[in-house]
Chains A and B, each alone.
Chain A
């Protein structure tokens, strides 16, 4: 179909996009202080935690990540972070319950079961090439299901993360460069193909029952998302290379896959291809073995190891590794200028690291750890560790929405509580 018109510089196997693709943040860049964030980035890693090995020492504005703790790799980033403990998922428990509630807080009149990213995307995503971008690492070996998905769209449709960085790259940049007549023609054709299928779907729609109609509605929505990609993007940024040489199903490549997805998420935000991105590392009950750390036992088994066993030490190593990846993500966001020219990407983005459970050994969704990075355009006061003492995480979800300029007062089930976490400001 002659669609490959551009030659990207392929990077070496391992797939990390090494070179910065946009100018680095200059020394004169101003701090953004609009009081409002423009973008949202969610980072997930699975299987809960062991609270006593996770919690920072100290509290409020004087806290630090202890040596040997799960969060040790975040040392040095304290000023950029807002560590929030003591939040509970309302009426949810266990692996599956936690995965379902983490970004939804159940359902309610305001959100109708949408997850945080989809709720925000529905309001901020209309103007961008991708309303939202779901990236994953090893999320799909078990198929889709409540264990393997955290993002929920309209009508409870599971938003499948793209585990393949190369594929994600193509969706982000595939056809926007080379804006010649050929591309225009290609897009016009894709448009006529879309129109043709839309006619076919509509013909079918009127003849079938309600459940099947919903299926076709989802299909029509998906075609609209494709159509969006046919709009010209302009010259916001120039990608340097597509991730290559990665096997998105290989356990042992998880570090390279995650690095590539982090880079793509940063690119997507920096190029304003989307305002809402998520990176899901594996999934609850994750069987991933952190073999690159010399650990062969699966992550889920380790998360349930009893105190005093070698399993706990290995679990801490795994969690430290995840913290190091999060630290790299935060640093990358700090080093990248915001596309609107005001401050760094981190200054204008709410970055949040979420987990689906609190204490993994007890299978509970109380005291679930959250870490926010960046001050959300001034909406949050970073550099603090807060223990909320056991209130619903619905307040945090509301806070994030409000930091992004939305006006909702509840998120999900309103019985969990109304209003933001005022302590974050």
Chain B
């Protein structure tokens, strides 16, 4: 449908679709889309003879006089096409979301400025836009600080383990072994990428069953809020309410308590033990969507949605502590303290001051600078026998302690890059060649060391960064230049074009590393990108492939003159890492980039308007003076902290009204009388019918083959683990072969569904 509209519109100049005019406005195309997107990034490959020269999008060469016109015709012909997910091709390809990939990788950020421009263009070309305004008015979006859309955020693998530990009081390493999630922008917590795949569903089931079993075996007394002997059914309901509130991070409705209570009762009746039922309730809750997904859905308020107090508690807890909210925090949510600006400020300060927040910065830095790969990067043991597994662990330990300490004492981005203190082990100090003063060390052998007078100081000199970004046999100006370019300046680079020999230059003792790597910038095809990369990477040449300081590279004196080019505000030439740090701190890019990536990481989405929010955070401080803590804490001052957007058809979360309190009913083996007792628990009622779990309990002293006439209020549409025969308006219920005859106190469980007459 859209496709044909596009063709019609592309073929006719100034045509109209419905009442919407589509003027053939070359100028606005050039300004809004061509210059910032197609002519900037796409044309590098999408040009005759280029890497994407055989695709359907071949743009005109940059010196063609009718370039803009030709390009408009080319891209407009594609504007109506959608990928299998219904996303326009012009959005899904460059953003790397197309199922078949994009040869050039991910060029455009979802909901970023280029995305918005392309989206407007597609709308314009296909006649689906409200008007033909091609100018994505980001200023307007920024001015009103619009929040991002409502989302369900599946727990990351680490959050699963932390949450289980806090819920059950038993350690979990299951999450760490779950199927790896799609990484987006280097982060493992993108809301759109975190799904429950078939493999993960299976892993979650195995983990939940095993964890529930362990918890009931070892910690049942602590988990129960009541004494089962005072009334099992009531105690089970109490447990479901209290544990459920912690697992789902909000109170359960009466109906929800009823669902889990029916599960408890069925298991209790079959297995005969109170705790067996509890075990299945725990196992089931750990697989529930209400546990697995953090709700950021909120309640409708006007055109938008406002997060509930419980959702705010959840957001705060996972952002600052990376785990499920504590009982105390949930209590505050219950009192409405988190949706009030005055009271929530105090809560945030208190949570930030708690030692559980110490892991926030290390967790971010780990993924920010790809240090999570440090344990895995390949290093040739013949070239670097010193790099043991233990030493890698200590490098990681240094970064963790360094950034946590800085964040806690109000350290800034400048401190992150230039601070002359660090935390080293004896072995790491020896590795760096810095002097080690004996003194007290922490449990893992680290102590704070003053590095004044040594070439070390600041994150950029630390072994973790230098070792992660190197080749198996040498330092690598390219790897180091790329990480600075992409992660400190937020300038994403396209992958190398095909048909080029991109093999790293072989080790050649007659050349220095710098000389070997310098050769490829001489090739024209490589120069554009490597201009942006190598000058930065060369500044690290005084640090070898495992982070040791050196003045000689083999037989060549180290040359660590560096240069930043093609950056909006940080261009400079300098010497060494200290000079690079100075250049980075002298521009705005680093600070903006840090704030932007925190938005990405903290909110798990990258909506265009959120970028503006990040810029606001960065702009409030002089260059380099943004406190590291403002990464997470700055997020809590944006509208997105408490608000979300949604479409008109979307509705508030379903648990706002608790409904009637659940009545736990009689104990399975209490009350009674008579030979056999039938208990029916309706677990799903849609008006026109219902489904129920039922038990038959033999209360007599002898064996009984049961047969019960009962009015179910309709016709049985399905029944399992028992048989049903209609007798007038009643139904006769009898056991299957294996549960027809019950010993004293034995219970048969079955279920059925009924269509009401």
A170 to B99, CA, bound (A): 30
A287 touches B99 (CB 8 A): no
Q: Which residues of A contact B267 (CB under 8 A)?
A: 189
Chain B residues lying within 8 Å of A104, measured Cβ to Cβ, are: 99-100
B263, A192: Cβ atoms closer than 8 Å: yes
Asked if A235 is an interface residue, CB under 8 A from chain B, the answer is no
* B151 with A144: CB separation less than 8 A: no
A residues in contact with B288, CB < 8 Å: 196-197, 200
Q: Is the CB of A209 within 8 A of B210?
A: no
Query: Are B101 and A96 in touch, CB under 8 angstroms?
Result: yes
A93-B498, A301-B504, A363-B500 as given contacts; A197 in contact with B99, CB under 8 Å: no
CB-based contact B501/A207 at 8 Å: no
Name B583-599 residues within 8 Å CB distance of A: none
Of A33-41, A157-165, A237-245, A342-350, the segment with at least 4 beta carbons within 8 Å of chain B is: A157-165
B70 within 8 A of A: no
Among A148, A197, A214, the one with the most B-chain Cβ atoms within 10 Å of its Cβ is A197
Cβ of B554 within 8 Å of any chain A Cβ, yes or no, is no
| Given A215-B152, A219-B195, residue A226 in contact with residue B103 (CB < 8 A) | no
A188 to B206, CA, bound (A): 16
Chain A, range 144-168, C-beta contacts under 8 Å to B: 144-146, 148, 152, 155-160, 162, 164, 167
B503 near A190 with CB under 8 A, answer: no
- A226–B201 touching, CB < 8 Å: yes
Contact of A94 among B103, B290, B646, B751 (CB under 8 A): B103
Determine if A297 and B472 form an interchain contact, defined as CB atoms under 8 angstroms apart.
yes
CB-contact partner of B297 in A200, A207, A309, under 8 A = A207
CA separation between A95 and B102, bound complex, in Å?
11
Cβ of A143 and Cβ of B721 under 8 Å apart? no
Are B684 and A157 closer than 8 Å at their CB atoms?
no
The answer to whether A196 and B263 touch across the interface, beta carbons within 8 angstroms, is yes
| Structural contact, B84 and A208, CB atoms closer than 8 A | no
Most buried by A among B198, B202, B297, B652: B198
Q: Which of B394-443 contact A (CB under 8 A)?
A: none
Query: What's the minimum C-beta distance from A364 to chain B, rounded to whole angstroms?
Result: 6
Contact B105 A113 (CB under 8 A): no
Smallest Cβ-Cβ distance to A304: which chain B residue: B503
Is B130 engaged at the interface, CB distance under 8 Å to the other chain? no
Binds B, one of A68-76, A134-142, A396-404: A134-142
Known A-B contacts A104-B100, A107-B99, A364-B498; the reply to A297 vs B654 at CB < 8 A is: no
Interface status of A1 (Cβ within 8 A of chain B) = yes
Partner of A156, one of B51, B84, B500, B651: B84
> For B274, what are the chain A residues with a Cβ–Cβ distance below 8 Å?
none
A317 at the interface (CB under 8 A from B): no
Name the contact of B270 in the complex, choosing from A99, A144, A170, A185 (C-beta under 8 A): A185
Question: Which residue in B51, B84, B202 is a CB contact (below 8 Å) of A113?
Answer: B84
- A181 at the B interface (CB under 8 A): yes
Q: Is the CB of B202 within 8 A of A171?
A: yes
Is the pair B378, A197 in contact by a Cβ cutoff of 8 Å?
Answer: no
**B174-182, B311-319, B355-363, B534-542: which one contacts chain A?**
B174-182
CB A309 to nearest CB in B, in angstroms, measures 6
Q: State how many angstroms separate the Cβ of A93 from the closest Cβ of chain B.
A: 4
Report whether over half of chain B's contact residues are helix, strand or loop; otherwise say mixed: loop
Stretch of B277-285, B453-461, B634-642, B710-718 on the interface side: B277-285
A107 touches B182 (CB 8 A): no
Q: What residues of chain A lie closer than 8 Å to B193, measured between beta carbons?
A: 144
Q: Measured between C-beta atoms, what is the minimum distance from B494 to chain A in Å?
A: 10
Determine if A91 and B289 form an interchain contact, defined as CB atoms under 8 angstroms apart: no
Residues of chain B within 8 A of A364, CB atoms compared: 498-499
**Which B residues are in CB contact (< 8 Å) with A361?**
501, 503
A368 beta carbon closer than 8 Å to chain B: no
Q: Chain A contacts of B180 at CB under 8 A?
A: 140-144, 148, 160
Chain B residues lying within 8 Å of A99, measured Cβ to Cβ, are 101
Residue from A164, A189, A212, A298 within 8 A of B151 (CB atoms): A212
Q: Are A93 and B103 in contact (CB under 8 A)?
A: yes
Question: Closest CB of chain A to B552's CB: distance in Å?
Answer: 24
CA distance in complex: A209, B201 (Å): 23
B377 at interface by CB-CB < 8 Å: yes
- Say yes or no for B212: interface residue by CB 8 A criterion: yes
Is A18 engaged at the interface, CB distance under 8 Å to the other chain? no
B650 touches A209 (CB 8 A): yes
A196 touches B259 (CB 8 A): yes
Please give, as numbers and ranges, the residues of chain A lying within 8 Å of B179 by CB-CB distance. 140, 144, 160, 162
> Is A386 on the interface with B (CB-CB < 8 A)?
no
Are A193 and B650 in contact, CB atoms less than 8 angstroms apart? Answer: no
Within 8 A of B (CB), among A166-224: 167, 170-171, 181, 185, 188-190, 192-193, 196-197, 199-201, 203-204, 206-212, 214-216, 218-219, 221-223
- 9 closest Cβ pairs, A-B complex: A100-B101, A304-B503, A113-B99, A156-B99, A140-B180, A97-B103, A222-B201, A143-B183, A113-B84
The contact sample of 15 A-B pairs, CB cut-off 8 A, is A91-B103, A112-B84, A156-B84, A197-B284, A204-B654, A212-B152, A215-B192, A218-B195, A222-B198, A226-B205, A289-B472, A297-B472, A306-B503, A362-B498, A412-B100
10 additional contacts (CB under 8 A) given A208-B152, A211-B192, A296-B472: A112-B84, A113-B98, A113-B99, A113-B100, A143-B183, A145-B183, A170-B206, A222-B200, A226-B198, A297-B378
A residues bordering B, Cβ < 8 Å?
A: 1-3, 91-97, 99-101, 104-107, 112-113, 134, 140-146, 148, 152, 155-160, 162, 164, 167, 170-171, 181, 185, 188-190, 192-193, 196-197, 199-201, 203-204, 206-212, 214-216, 218-219, 221-223, 225-226, 229, 251, 287, 289, 296-298, 301, 304-306, 309, 311, 361-364, 412-413
